[in-house]
Structure 1
Amino acid sequence: MPIRLKKLIGTILLVALVVVYAIVATLVAVARLAEAGPLAHFLFFLISGFLWVLPAMGIIKWLIIEPPAKN
Structure 2
Amino acid sequence: MVPSFRKFVGMVLLVTFVIIYAFTAMVIGDLTLQQSSNLVRFVYFAVAGLLWVIPAGAIIWWMERSGKNQT
User: What TM-score, normalized to structure 1?
Assistant: 0.91
Task: Determine helix, strand or coil for the equivalent of 1:43.
Answer: helix
Whether 1:9 and 2:9 are equivalent positions in the alignment is: yes
In the TM superposition, 1:1-71 aligns within 5 A as 1-68=1-68
Equivalents in 2 of 1:39, 1:2: separation in Å?
A: 47
Q: How many residues align?
A: 69
Deviation at 1:68, TM superposition (A): 1.3
Structure 1: runs of 5 or more not aligned: none
CA contact (8 A) 2:6 2:63 kept: yes
Pairwise CA RMSD of aligned residues?
1.1
Equivalents in 2 of 1:60, 1:24: separation in Å?
A: 21
Tell me which amino acid in the other structure corresponds to 2:43. Answer: L
Tell me which amino acid in the other structure corresponds to 2:37. Answer: G
Q: Identity across aligned pairs (percent)?
A: 33
Equivalents in 2 of 1:55, 1:30: separation in Å?
A: 23
Structure 2: runs of 5 or more not aligned: none
Deviation at 1:55, TM superposition (A): 0.4
User: What TM-score, normalized to structure 2?
Assistant: 0.91
